[in-house]
Structure 1
């Protein structure tokens, strides 16, 4: 085993050099752990789009607590004062599930980073982009326009997203609270995405946290969040999420080519052994190579944090070809 661990450490340092931390657990025991020089399990790292899957967790908490009735609720239920644009017919028909599964239509072809992030109210700016003449049910991945979900959570719970997360998700798991991070210009945005070093959660000028990126946590924090899902929503005998939400949010709700998507979670590639009642696991993937992998049938969870690089080596391949055989060797 020591030889295998040394091989893995050499592989990571040579071929996955931007990985800062990795914790792999099977059946409640750490099977492999790695940190790049200068980093530890507590080092804060910007999680990029892994933030989306943590936002999905928060929707599960809000549903369990009754703040949200169902993913079938219309989006506009949470924005009663919003004024529809003339001729807009699609937006009133959109439901929460359409946003969570990335199947809502938008009024743009390319990601509207500048339009959303140069405005004062990112929720309103993203809501203005929702709807149009596109087809409901067609997969369209977005990050800036997903900010609508922040407004939904805040309206439903009466708290900003970070406060709700601190109280109802992070605190029960022993994760230190996060504070708002404000980025005032494009240069600060770039510097943050390339190397955030302070715990927190990016928020717009109105104080609304970004649901699709911007959360800064440690590898140790991530493995706790993954383990909560492996535990079917229970932590230390306290139920934080319903089993039904975990099943629903990590099952196929939409598809982009051969890639399957749940509610802000990616599904692992299909295999011959996958059944209708038990999928092959699921993952959260973020820019630069941040990742969470959860395989319930093997009782395996893996958390990976990474420094940003433009085109990192694929983490799914790292997991399936190297980490999984190490953690769950075939008999």
Structure 2
């Protein structure tokens, strides 16, 4: 990348994307750009918000490949045999894992009751209590916390391990990613972690010690890039198949469509950008972007701000054109 393009990109970041903490661009498996901002360094992990969902998607694929879970068509309630379903709530019995992964599960609420959910002493049960309703339309309903936390409960029950132990053994350790559990003791700590956490590392757990699937994970830009490169490599890492290529193909193709947010396609906890690219995206502008045709991985770690400017626009308009010819 020549200095003129470098200067132009960093001016755009400074002027319009001032909450960015770090960017790494890989082309063909090699770093072609790495830059940190706002006093951050390569060692600083940051809360990546909903990027957590896409990382968790990999864990679900691994669990299915290893036989802990039969398939995405397995019914959710099979994993919670003691959960009591009310007589007028039969719709919940038909909800499958697939519906939670592609955001087509039905819920009794129009928007997630965050305070009620976090105040409960059992987040999985609280999430199950909100699942269902009168109609199972199969339409896209983005539930950033409820559905994904049910998936965490499923993974823990299916494997007989804590989610972090399963992740460490099967995903994090092979990639050299180091994460520990974090306990948040009250609402104030939960809100602070979601919106202000910086210079720390870990993965939030609920009152039962189950890690959050929809948020709560901190990663460095290098960690994010490893996840992206793993997916670009169709699940291979250092000659070992970490995630099956079949799962990567299924989870990164259109499984549903979010009409209300620009008619964007959704896979299994991944956003599908176009025919050659997909991304993990989180509040504040965190992103892991993979372009399969150009063999590029772009990771952007950002401090939380409300209504952060679109990172895909930044990537498509400025970052990709600057690096797509790098060898």
Counterpart for residue 75 of structure 1: 76
Within a 5 Å distance, the mapping from 1:11-50 to structure 2 comes to 11-50=12-51
Counterpart for residue 266 of structure 1: 271
Counterpart for residue 287 of structure 2: 291
Structure 1 stretches lacking a partner, 5+ long = 271-278
Distance 2:244 2:286 in 1: 26
Counterpart for residue 152 of structure 1: 154
Deviations 1:61-87 (A, max 9, x none): 111211111101111111111111221
SS of the aligned residue for 1:297 comes to coil
1:321 counterpart = 2:321? no
Does the 8 Å CA contact 1:9/1:34 hold for their aligned counterparts?
Answer: no
Deviations 1:142-172 (A, max 9, x none): 1221210110110111112111111110000
Within a 5 Å distance, the mapping from 1:130-141 to structure 2 comes to 130-141=131-142
Counterpart for residue 107 of structure 1: 108
Does the 8 Å CA contact 1:98/1:136 hold for their aligned counterparts?
Answer: no
Comparing 6-15 with 86-95, greater Cα deviation is found at 6-15
SS of the aligned residue for 2:284 comes to helix
Deviation of 1:329 after TM superposition, in Å, equals 4.5
SS of the aligned residue for 1:317 comes to helix
Counterpart for residue 237 of structure 2: 235
Counterpart for residue 192 of structure 1: 193
Within a 5 Å distance, the mapping from 1:165-314 to structure 2 comes to 165-176=167-178, 178-197=179-198, 198-257=200-259, 258-268=263-273, 270=274, 279-314=275-310
Does the 8 Å CA contact 1:23/1:33 hold for their aligned counterparts?
Answer: yes
SS of the aligned residue for 2:288 comes to strand
CA RMSD of aligned residues (A): 1.3
Does the 8 Å CA contact 1:298/1:328 hold for their aligned counterparts?
Answer: yes
Structure 2 stretches lacking a partner, 5+ long = none
Runs of 4+ in 1 over 3 A off after TM superposition: none
TM-score relative to the length of structure 1: 0.94
Distance 1:126 1:133 in 2: 17
Does the 8 Å CA contact 1:285/1:291 hold for their aligned counterparts?
Answer: yes
Counterpart for residue 89 of structure 2: 88
Deviation of 1:37 after TM superposition, in Å, equals 3.6
Distance 1:136 1:82 in 2: 23
Does the 8 Å CA contact 1:112/1:144 hold for their aligned counterparts?
Answer: no
Distance 1:203 1:251 in 2: 30
Count residues with an aligned counterpart: 320
Does the 8 Å CA contact 1:102/1:140 hold for their aligned counterparts?
Answer: yes
Distance 1:196 1:64 in 2: 34
